[in-house]
Amino acid sequence: MKYLLLIYIDPQLLQALPTDEYDTLMRGCLQHADALQADGTLLMSQRLQPPASAQTLRSRQGQSRVLDGPFAETREILAGFNLIEAADADAAMQIARQFPWAAYGSIEVRAVDDLNGERRELHA
């Protein structure tokens, strides 16, 4: 089963890290991600640009609006994601625990629905 690990960070906590500590943390994270990718567990991983570079689209009653920046103001920001393959939710959470980012925000673990199943059901 596929799971999406949504990586949220508190920028203040991350910015408080000395540069050499951040570099060591990130290097270890990248090496761990490479190992997970090599064994077929990690399917995709990306870091996102800061929220200030985002645009939010909202459509209501036939009217669309594009707003600069994120729609919601939060202390933690969505910083990236990992798409993984795991046997079940517990195994996915174990994989999430192997990444350091929960100490600087949170990691949301969410099962990925089978969109192809929906396609078949709707004959689309």
Answer whether residue 23 shows pLDDT above 90. Answer: yes
What is the band of 15 on the pLDDT scale with cuts at 50, 70, 90? very high
For residue 47, the enclosing domain spans 2-122
pLDDT of residue 1: 95
Report how many domains make up the chain. 1
Tens digits of residue pLDDT in 53-87: 888 888 999 999 898 876 666 788 999 999 999 99
In the chain, the N- to C-terminal Cα span, in Å, equals 23
In eight-state DSSP terms, residue 86 is -
State whether residue 43 is helix, strand or coil: strand
Q: Whole-angstrom Cα distance, residue 70 to residue 94?
A: 30
pLDDT of residue 72: 62
pLDDT of residue 51: 86
pLDDT of residue 96: 96
Answer whether residue 94 shows pLDDT above 80. Answer: yes
**Of 54, 73, 53, 56, residue with least CA distance to 64:** 56
- What is the chain's percent helix, strand, coil content, to nearest 5? 40, 35, 25
Give me 88's structure tokens: 């079940």
**Of 49, 46, 45, 65, residue with least CA distance to 57:** 65
CATH code, domain carrying 85 = 3.30.70.1060
Q: Mean pLDDT for the chain? A: 92
**Of 109, 107, 103, 108, residue with least CA distance to 14:** 103
Specify the pTM. 0.86
